[in-house]
Amino acid sequence: MKLTLTPLFAALLLAGCASVGSVDPARLPQPPAAYKAVSANEAPALTASWWRPFADPVLEDLVARAMAANTSVQSAASRLALARAALGNAGAARLPQVGVSAGAGRSSAPGQPVPQPATQYSAGLNLAYELDLGGRLLHERNAAALDVQAQEQLLADARLLVQANVARGYLALRALDTEREIVRDTVAAYGETQALTEKRARAGDVADLDVARVRAELAANEAEALALDRRRLELETALAVLVGEAPSSFSLAPAPWTTALPTVPAGLPSELLQRRPDLAAARSRLEAAQARVGVARAAWWPSLSLTAQGGGVSGELSNLLKSGASTWGIGLLGALPIFDGGRRQAGVDAAKAQMDGEAIAFREQFLLALKDVEDQLGALTLLQAQGEASARAVSAAGQALKLSDTRYRNGLVSQLELLDARRSELANRRSALQVRSAQYQATVGLIRALGGGWSPDAGVKLAGV
């Protein structure tokens, strides 16, 4: 019997040291060699403070305030602390458990004609240790460590998301400030046109219909200006929430839009995508699920626990620690499941299904990340061409408005032609501004899709209308 059990015991010890292993990289989706919109000839340096190339002190201040007080970041940090506590608990299970005990009791001694109550005192040191034959405790500890890695990456992803949302909100607000100026300039121009039209109407040069038309245009643009004011209020309160402050105490005064627009470097490599913290978290969750398959498989192995205790028992408290009162004991407890109705196999199947689900989730997240990068790169390419066309349209519309205004003041054209020219000029200026704003939003979106920015040495240009 001894010769039979020795090889089995050795095999169980080896199984306890075995590991499920890491995820095979060949089974994971691979990034493309290059993206559609850029080549992969150069590799720009990376930077964590990706918002600094925008060269906007207000933006930097808002990001710093958000990192200090945003509730989403704080929630992610608390989940990380919880995961670290679970890791500590899983690691402690692999170590010997040592404790002390003490007690006192009073009872009668049996076998006496007249039972006499006696007091017994006890004190001892207890030791318990589970031999991890099947590797269950090791796999649980590894899974907990991977959970910590996942939560660390999710915290980084929460920070990146908040930073991107702060940048998007701030840039949208600055674009709105510029648009409000455009609309207010238009309102002032319509006010001048209305005054001129009313003056000409009093002189009998134009009809009352012309006065009504220009008044309608003026009122419509005043209403549009108020709508932009309402939209700015919404953006400002949204920024307040992002930086973790009460909207009533947060304000951001209108200012000229001088934020720099970082350019996409020509050699943007596809490997930048692998920095995305959400992808790293998805992979850590996949590896943790694989480790839990090992936990489920370890349920088939016997459990073996070693216990030891030592101490003293005495009727006198002063004699409790003397050698004559000492006691000790050692034990070895083993258990081998034989029939459980399929519970252990169901546990293995469930762990494998969970691992397969995490693998599918990782692949889906990877494909969505590729889509995000391609969308933003393509958008930036098209927006650049659209911005050039919009600039030409603004220039032509402005020239047409200037000519129409001069001709109207000289009585050479009708009021309808002037109003049409002004509407066209306003529409083109607002359209060009929207294209410029979209370029900023797409740049921030690309940075978010890549998991961070690139070095400012790759090139930064100042954006202009």
Banded model confidence at residue 462, pLDDT cuts 50, 70, 90: very low
127 burial level (CB within 10 Å; 0-12, 13-18, 19+) = middle
Return the percentage of the chain with pLDDT > 70, whole number: 80
CA distance 166 to 73: 13
In this prediction, residue 17 carries a pLDDT of 42
CA distance 245 to 26: 47
pLDDT(25) > 70: no
pLDDT(154) > 80: yes
pLDDT in tens, 381-422: 899 999 999 999 999 999 998 999 888 888 788 778 888 888
In this prediction, residue 201 carries a pLDDT of 85
pLDDT(155) > 90: yes
The DSSP letter of residue 128 is E
Helix (H, G, I), strand (E, B) or coil at 268: coil
CA distance 69 to 148: 23
Distances (CA, A) of 79 to 68, 91, 278: 17, 18, 15
pTM confidence score: 0.81
CA distance 436 to 443: 11
Mean pLDDT of 149-161: 93
Helix (H, G, I), strand (E, B) or coil at 77: helix
Per domain, the residue ranges of the chain are 26-96+120-335+348-462
Least confidently predicted of 58-72, 96-110, 432-446: 96-110
pLDDT in tens, 63-89: 999 999 999 999 999 999 999 999 999
Q: How many other CB atoms sit within 10 Å of the CB of residue 165? A: 19
pLDDT in tens, 224-264: 999 999 999 999 999 999 999 999 999 999 999 999 998 87
CA distance 390 to 396: 10
What fold does the segment set 26-96+120-335+348-462 form as a domain?
Outer membrane efflux proteins (OEP) (1.20.1600)
- Better-scored residue on pLDDT, 81 or 131: 81
Mean pLDDT of 208-217: 88
Strand partners, 269: none
CA distance 421 to 321: 105
Helix crossing, 57-69 with 208-242: angle to 10°? 50
Banded model confidence at residue 27, pLDDT cuts 50, 70, 90: low
> Residue 459 has which token pair?
């090139």
Contact call for residues 298 and 135 (beta carbons, < 8 A): yes
Strand partners, 125: 100, 310
- Better-scored residue on pLDDT, 35 or 350: 350
The DSSP letter of residue 329 is E
